[in-house]
Amino acid sequence: MASAGSNNRVITGWAARDASGVLTPYTYTLRETGPEDVLIKVLYCGICHTDIHQAKNHLGMSNYPMVPGHEVAGEVAEVGSKVSKFRVGDTVGVGVVVGCCRACGPCKANIEQYCNKRIWSYNDVYTDGKPTQGGFAPAMVVDQKFVVKIPDGLAPEQAAPLLCAGLTVYSPLKSFGLMKEGLKGGILGLGGVGHMGVKIAKAMGHHITVISSSDKKREEAMEHLGADAYLVSSDADQMAAAVDTLDYIIDTIPVFHPLEPYLPLLKVDGKLIMMGVINQPMQFVTPMIMLGRKSIIGTFIGSMEEAQEMLEFCKEKGLTSMIEMVKMESVNQAIERLERNDVRYRFVVDVARSKL
């Protein structure tokens, strides 16, 4: 990687070149470490389903070459003159957002992920006019506001998936007042985000039902992740028995699906929290929400403040992610397996030990 104090900012990451989404080595130049910037040596980077949506242009907004990766755990290699939050050698994390306007309502309210001028960690353009590139690379330069400290005691490879998957479930539970003990929650889709949903919600004292497309993950969900119940969504009897039982459902399915099977599982005032990035209109008939004062809502990752808080929460509760480590040389096979729903539950690229 570009070393501290050196002028060599040329690095090689792995980039998608077109909507095939296949990643290959790509050489580019990092910006100089500005006064507010932190140069981070990337150690590990999780593979989120959003990386597939972006690399394969599911939303029609992808620009290439694109180096994905937004669950970044690394080590501070250099800090700018005005950086007060970090020192060289600190273990740190970076997520989905690396910039915002700092002047709008959401920015002033410290929910900068909802700033209309947010800058994404890749597939975006930075304030210098250059493309942003993500964590499937040996280094990143990031404004200190968008860097979090990974607490001592949390292994960086375990922490990587928390930077998106963990935060994505922590934030709605907190912001919708759902951190209360004793709530009954559903996790729809047991993947990277879903498995963190089970762990985080259980740590908040919730009774958790996993709603899955198959029976394949039942034993792991109940025995290793600590879920209390498991429903197969195609089993009409199991679904009928669960009607009116849940305070919320976190829906992580990454493709179009009808909502009618899931809304009846919610109690009065229940919330269906949509997480999946889906490029088609969703559907439901309105009485399904009216007749129970239910809400269908969505959230986008979480704020930097929540990210730091969530990491401390995970450390305090002893929560880790369940990961399968891969080298960058195998990243394309890992992406194919993620697409086939063949991972328990998050791939993490061992960037520092990969041939780049």
Ligand X SMILES: O=C/C=C/c1ccc(O)c(O)c1
By the criterion CB under 6 A, which residues form the site for ligand X?
A: 48, 50, 59, 96, 164, 277, 300-301
User: Would you tell me how many other CB atoms lie within 10 Å of the CB of residue 203?
Assistant: 16
> 59 touches which of ligand X, Zn ion, ligand NDP, none (CB within 5 to 8 A by kind)?
ligand X
212 binds ligand NDP (CB under 6 A): yes
* Binding of residue 252 to ligand NDP (CB under 6 A): yes
Tell whether residue 48 is a contact of ligand NDP (CB under 6 A).
yes
CA-CA distance, 188 to 355, in Å (whole number)?
36
For residue 222, what are its two tokens? 């109940």
- 118: number of Cβ within 10 Å: 20
Residues numbered 108 to 137 that lie near ligand NDP (CB under 6 A) are: none
Which entry of ligand NDP, Zn ion, ligand X, none binds 289, CB below 5 to 8 A by partner kind? none
Give the Cα separation of 82 and 37 in Å (integer): 8
Q: Which of 77, 98, 107, 193 binds ligand NDP (CB under 6 A)?
A: 193
Query: Any contact of residue 46 with ligand NDP (CB under 6 A)?
Result: no
Smallest separation (angstroms) from ligand X to the CB of 349: 15
CB within 8 Å of 226: residues ≥ 6 apart: 198, 199, 202, 208
Per rule CB under 6 A, is residue 276 in the interface with ligand NDP? yes
**Structural element, H or E, at residue 63:** none
Answer yes or no whether residue 301 interacts with ligand NDP by CB under 6 A.
yes
Among 217, 272, 296, 349, binds ligand NDP (CB under 6 A): 217
The interface region with ligand NDP, picked from 32-40, 42-50, 145-153, 303-311 by CB under 6 A, is 42-50
Torsion angles phi and psi, residue 105, rounded to 5 = -55, -55
The helix (H) or strand (E) run that includes residue 252 is none
CB-based contact 112:97 (threshold 8 Å): yes
The nearest distance, CB 256 to ligand X, in angstroms, is 15
For residue 345, is the peptide bond before it cis, meaning its omega torsion is within 30 degrees of 0?
yes
- C-alpha–C-alpha distance, residues 336 and 318, integer Å: 31
Joined together, the tokens standing for residue 118 give: 């947010």
Q: How far apart are CA 22 and CA 18, in angstroms?
A: 8
| Minimum gap (Å) between residue 107 Cβ and Zn ion | 3
CA 248 to chain CA centroid, nearest Å = 20
**Pick from ligand X, Zn ion, ligand NDP, none: which does 254 bind, CB < 5 to 8 A by kind?**
ligand NDP
Binding at 276: pick from ligand NDP, ligand X, Zn ion, none (beta carbon under 5-8 Å per type)? ligand NDP
Site for Zn ion, rule CB under 5 A = 48, 50, 100-101, 104, 107, 115, 164
Q: How far apart are CA 222 and CA 242, in angstroms?
A: 17
- Give the shortest CB-178-to-ligand NDP separation in angstroms: 16
Q: Smallest gap, in angstroms, from Cβ of residue 169 to ligand X?
A: 12
Q: How far apart are CA 104 and CA 206, in angstroms?
A: 35
Residue 115 contact partner, candidates Zn ion, ligand NDP, ligand X, none, CB within 5 to 8 A by sort of partner: Zn ion
Residue 328 binds ligand NDP (CB under 6 A): no
Q: Which member of 175, 213, 238, 354 binds ligand NDP (CB under 6 A)? A: 213
What string of DSSP letters covers 16-53? E-STT--EEEEEEEPPP--TTEEEEEEEEEEE-HHHHH
Q: Which residues bind ligand NDP (CB under 6 A)?
A: 48-50, 53, 164, 168, 189-194, 212-214, 217, 252-255, 257, 275-277, 300-301, 338, 341
